[in-house]
Amino acid sequence: MLRPKVPTMPQPTGLITPPAVVEPTTVIQHTPQAPAPAPVPVPARPTVQLTPGAVIALVGSGTAVVLVVGAVLVSMLLAVAITSASVAICALVIRSLIASEGKRR
């Protein structure tokens, strides 16, 4: 029905365009009138100075983050454990009901 047409590469014609001619430009060098000022050394990175109060704040905030993340992870684990236990109990009850239904007939 529908056949895709694969494009074919056209054959080269043999006509080649010559490359553009680039004219060289003259460079005029200027002699400096005044000597350049010496560069001022700049430190690679600014130094960070921590005060004892900042260190205590960092330790306190790090401890708080660890406690909060730990509490969230423990609560998620507890939720999964409770859910799986309830599903297991439901499965046992349903299995027991199906087994007792078969014995009554």
Per DSSP, the residues of 30-49 read PPPSSPPPPPPP--SSPPP-
What's the pLDDT score for residue 41?
Answer: 73
Run of H or E including 77 = helix 52-104
CA atoms within 13 A on the CB side of 90: 6
What's the pLDDT score for residue 77?
Answer: 98
| Mean pLDDT in order along the chain per 10 residues (105 residues) | 75 68 74 69 74 92 97 98 97 92 71
What's the pLDDT score for residue 12?
Answer: 64
What's the pLDDT score for residue 13?
Answer: 66
What's the pLDDT score for residue 63?
Answer: 97
What's the pLDDT score for residue 101?
Answer: 78
What's the pLDDT score for residue 42?
Answer: 67
pTM metric for this prediction: 0.45
Rounded CA gap, 27 and 6, in Å?
Answer: 53
